[in-house]
Structure 1
Amino acid sequence: MTSDDISDNRRRIGRGLIWGSAGLLALVALAQAAQVLGWRDFGFANWRPTLYAYCLFATCLCWAQVIIRGEQGKRTLFVLPAALFVVSLTIFPLLFGLLIAFSNWNLSSLSGRQFNGTANLVQMWHDPFYWNALGNMVIYVAAIVVEYAIAFGLALILAGQIRARKFWRVAFLMPLMLSPVAVSWMIGKSMLEPRFGPLARLARALGVEQPSFFESPWMAKLTIMVLDAWTFIPFMMIMLLAGLQAIPKELQEASRVDGATGWKSFWEITFPLMLPVSVTAILIRIIFKLKLADIVITITSGGPGGATDTVTSFIFREYRERSNVGYGTMLAMVYLVLIVIGMTILMKLAARLTRPRT
């Protein structure tokens, strides 16, 4: 049945199913929200009524597609249920997180969760440790420039005709196969241990009286950056290596015939062709860097004095050590907004940078 064969009455029935189920979902959700905020008690024990109303809305929406659009609506059913399931896994937790963010909810308190409006935002605005963590994230993200340069250099070396090239490719990829927590324990907790660690012993043998890799704020921050870079540089390297191998050899041979060798060939031929891959690798690396927490939590717990703190590790401590669920969720929501805004701007700049020039 095509759309031309569907009567107006049938279309009205389909639209009625959609709007009726959507209205029921909105009413149930508003009723439960009003009960949670303490405005009126509707006798709901949990959020299951809203879940059931959403399932009814999803079923009616899929059914209405077939009623309204016929065969074309049946094709929509291959995608629409999956889309509705993804929405349920993102929108509802986000709304629940917003509800918690505007609440005073400390797990160590017997009073339970209480709505407190913008009090968490005011507390965040006057929280120097949170702004310190945001400042540290700027430094950590800026270090990606150095990581990119190292990864590009390694990719150029591995793309060349060197001895045991396959062995070196596997060897350079090994840090990526390790868990960051394992790296933190093996290197941060063992090799860099100030009393009995092998690197500390080596430093004392070279004349350093009291070697410490985490006592000075900048030294601790640099050590965290080095450990994180050692773990994730292979990821950028393998992406750049794949991009280098995709460059047609005819272009490089033509550049040699024209006399472009060495640095000039790299700057005029290789680097412009690698720009899309480079931007992609950097953007993905930024996403991973913004989630940096495991190495910091395992080694320094944000110390000394918050010098190595990241936003994620600071939020983790708000949850785990202070049991402050409401305030921690507000910090996470604000950080999410900042990430969305920042990544949107970066992606627009990246699209403009990689746009073909005529």
Structure 2
Amino acid sequence: MAIAELPAYGAISRRRKEWGRALIAAATVLFLATALAQVLNSARIVDLGFRDWRPTLFAYLAWAVVLGFGQVMIRGQAGLRALFILPAALFTVAMAIFPTLFGLSIAFTDWNLSSATGQKFNGLDNLFQLFRDPFYWNAMRNMVIYVLFVLVEYAIAFGLALLLNAEIRARKFWRVVFLIPLMLSPVAVSWMVGKSMLEYRFGPVARFARWLGINNPSFFTDPWAARLWIEAMDAWVSIPFVMILLLAGLQAMPKEVMEAATVDGATPWQRFWQITFPLMLPVSLTAIVLRIIFKLKLADIIITVTSGGPGGATDSVSSFIYREYRDRSNVGYGTMLAMFYLVVIVIFVTILLNVLSRHMRRMT
């Protein structure tokens, strides 16, 4: 049926709308019942004979088809137009919501790959173990430290952006040079710097330190020194990203304002604090929030260089969860750690965005 032949919403009969709603409700109940049955079967609470999650997949596909058909029955032309958006929305649900729900179903189970008993439902035991795990909370404290370092990275990036925005010689060349770290993989940087240059026996930095008279130039035995080196490597890779955002903001600023301030006799320091910094605040806050989000995922450099050592001093939450999976094969408990961290991130980022939004409204 062509779009022009479909009735508008007001012209659709009441009986047709009821049939459409009934079809969607029946498909929804069938899909939810299938998913619940698979969760119970996966947790071994009941044995329904399901070998994999294909029944839930087929039920979801059937529900998606019925949902689209029901929208056309209920809304007519508007429902047909909604079909252009529906596949993208359903794909997002399949790729984001379902894996999260699947992770939740694993988080409440005792599932160790090295155990012969397999997956068993254990209620809130993993959550209670999480609250008693000192290594996990140590990783949480480390994340607070790493996130606070974002302010230092922002200050360095702002200084570099101001420098590259000034009329200096070979400005385009230096812009490319300062962007090179952004093009490198953090794992490659970890091997080049952490595992090669800072290697305490044969690394060039260690040899130079011994030449200066330092007998034991070990860079990752002291907890704070190890954290600083991890932060330095992560900052070297990430500062160019913040710098390029700030540089774009500086180039978009109206030059007439700066020229008028110069004519009025404002010093460079006054121009920065009274004009440049306030005008750059929206871009700065965006760059800081994005950098914090990336920092919360810090893991690759830590895993490659220190594996969380010494004694968990450099562990991030992500690296600790990775080792819980890799070294202990503890899938159930590791998933609970990841789910709890996800909740913490969502709450933290939501509060941060609300605070920044209120601050920006007061300034404007």
TM range, smaller chain: over 0.9
Greater CA deviation, 24-33 or 247-256? 24-33
* C-alpha deviation, 1:155, in angstroms: 0.1
Deviations 1:258-302 (A, max 9, x none): 322311111111111111110110011011111111100000000
Deviations 1:222-269 (A, max 9, x none): 100111001100000000000000001111112222322311111111
TM-score with structure 1 length normalisation? 0.97
Matches within 5 A, 1:70-89: 70-89=76-95
Distance (whole Å) between structure 1 residues aligned to residue 363 and residue 299 of structure 2: 40
Residue 293 of structure 1 corresponds to 299
C-alpha distance 140-55 of structure 1, shift in aligned 2 (>3 A):
same
Q: Which amino acid aligns with 2:165?
A: A
2:43·2:119 contact (CA, 8 Å) conserved in 1?
A: no
Q: SS state of the match for residue 309, structure 2? A: coil
Distance (whole Å) between structure 1 residues aligned to residue 194 and residue 21 of structure 2: 61
Greater CA deviation, 241-250 or 73-82? 73-82
Residue 105 of structure 1 corresponds to 111
Distance (whole Å) between structure 1 residues aligned to residue 207 and residue 95 of structure 2: 51
Matches within 5 A, 1:131-210: 131-210=137-216
* C-alpha deviation, 1:80, in angstroms: 1.1
Residue 278 of structure 1 corresponds to 284
Matches within 5 A, 1:215-230: 215-230=221-236
2:104·2:336 contact (CA, 8 Å) conserved in 1?
A: yes
The match for 1:318 among 324, 337, 342 is 324
Distance (whole Å) between structure 1 residues aligned to residue 362 and residue 144 of structure 2: 30
Q: Which amino acid aligns with 1:106?
A: N
1:124·1:130 contact (CA, 8 Å) conserved in 2?
A: yes
Q: SS state of the match for residue 26, structure 1? A: helix
Q: Which amino acid aligns with 2:79?
A: G
Q: Which amino acid aligns with 1:52?
A: F
Distance (whole Å) between structure 2 residues aligned to residue 357 and residue 299 of structure 1: 43
Is residue 5 of structure 2 the alignment partner of residue 5 of structure 1?
A: no
Is residue 101 of structure 2 the alignment partner of residue 95 of structure 1?
A: yes
Distance (whole Å) between structure 2 residues aligned to residue 191 and residue 121 of structure 1: 41
1:62·1:81 contact (CA, 8 Å) conserved in 2?
A: no
Greater CA deviation, 24-33 or 74-83? 24-33
Is residue 61 of structure 2 the alignment partner of residue 51 of structure 1?
A: no
The RMSD of aligned alpha carbons is 1.2
Residue 22 of structure 2 corresponds to 16
Residue 359 of structure 2 corresponds to 353
Q: SS state of the match for residue 361, structure 2? A: coil
Provide the aligned length of Structure 1 versus Structure 2.
358
Greater CA deviation, 15-24 or 235-244? 15-24
Deviations 1:317-343 (A, max 9, x none): 000011011110010011000000000
The match for 1:302 among 285, 308, 333 is 308
Distance (whole Å) between structure 2 residues aligned to residue 336 and residue 167 of structure 1: 41
1:18·1:60 contact (CA, 8 Å) conserved in 2?
A: yes
Identity score, percent: 65
Distance (whole Å) between structure 2 residues aligned to residue 98 and residue 31 of structure 1: 15
Matches within 5 A, 1:59-78: 59-78=65-84
Residue 342 of structure 1 corresponds to 348
2:20·2:74 contact (CA, 8 Å) conserved in 1?
A: yes
> Which segments of 5 or more consecutive residues in structure 1 lack a partner in the other structure?
none
* C-alpha deviation, 1:90, in angstroms: 1.6
C-alpha distance 103-262 of structure 1, shift in aligned 2 (>3 A):
same
Greater CA deviation, 282-291 or 249-258? 249-258
Greater CA deviation, 256-265 or 171-180? 256-265
Distance (whole Å) between structure 1 residues aligned to residue 95 and residue 180 of structure 2: 34
Q: SS state of the match for residue 355, structure 1? A: helix
1:183·1:227 contact (CA, 8 Å) conserved in 2?
A: yes
> Which segments of 5 or more consecutive residues in structure 2 lack a partner in the other structure?
1-6
Matches within 5 A, 1:119-134: 119-134=125-140
* C-alpha deviation, 1:39, in angstroms: 4.0
TM-score with structure 2 length normalisation? 0.96
Q: SS state of the match for residue 354, structure 1? A: helix
Q: Which amino acid aligns with 2:291?
A: R
